[in-house]
Amino acid sequence: ELLYLYGFVIDNNPDDYLMVHYPIEAFQSVPSADTKGRLLEIQKAEMRCLLPRTLLDQGFFPATPRQCEESSVLQGDRMCNYSWSGQREIPSYSSKLVFPEDFLTALRTIAMKEEELNKVSSLLEELIGPGEERRPSNAEVRAAIWEACGDSGALQLLVDLLQMKMMELEEGSGTEACDTALLEKALIIDIPEGSIRDTEVEGVNKMSRHRWSSIIYRRGQKQLARLFLMEAEHALQLCLSEEG
Band (pLDDT 50/70/90 cuts) for residue 224 is very high
Report how far residue 109's alpha carbon sits from residue 117's, in angstroms, rounded to the nearest whole number: 9
pLDDT of residue 189: 82
Neighbours of 181 (CB within 10 A): 13
SS3 243: helix
Strands of the sheet with 199-201, listed across from one edge? 186-189, 204-208, 199-201
Helix/strand number for the chain, H first, E second: 10, 5
CA separation for the pair 6, 33 (Å, rounded): 42
HSE value, Cβ hemisphere, 13 Å, CA-based, for 149: 31
Q: Is 67 helix (H, G, I), strand (E, B) or coil?
A: coil
Q: Rounded to whole angstroms, how far apart are CA atoms 236 and 104?
A: 12
Query: Of the candidates 78, 239, 85, which has an alpha carbon nearest to the alpha carbon of residue 147?
Result: 85
Give me the pLDDT at residue 178, please: 95
The pTM is what? Answer: 0.85
177-186 per-position pLDDT tens digit: 999 999 999 8
Q: Is the pLDDT of residue 80 over 60?
A: no
At residue 91's C-alpha, the angle toward residues 139 and 45, to 5°, is: 35
Closest to 79 measured CA to CA, from 59, 62, 97: 97
Looking at residue 11, its pLDDT comes to 79
DSSP symbol at 59: S
pLDDT of residue 70: 46
Mean pLDDT taken over the chain:
84
> pLDDT > 90: what percent of the chain?
57
Would residue 14 be called left, alpha or beta, if left means φ above 0 and alpha means ψ between -120 and 50 degrees? alpha
Which amino acid, residue 230? M
Query: Tell me, what DSSP letter sits at residue 190?
Result: -
Mean pLDDT lowest among 6-15, 90-99, 192-201, 224-233: 192-201
The rounded distance, in Å, linking the Cα atoms of 11 and 218 is 11
Handedness of CA 153, 154, 157, 162 (dihedral sign): negative
Which pLDDT band, with edges at 50, 70 and 90, does 65 fall under?
low
Asked if pLDDT for residue 79 goes beyond 70, the answer is no
pLDDT tens digit string along 2-36? 444 444 577 778 889 999 999 988 998 999 999 99
pLDDT of 208 above 90: no
pLDDT in tens, 191-205: 665 555 555 556 788
- pLDDT 10s digits, 141-175: 998 999 899 999 999 999 999 999 999 999 999 99
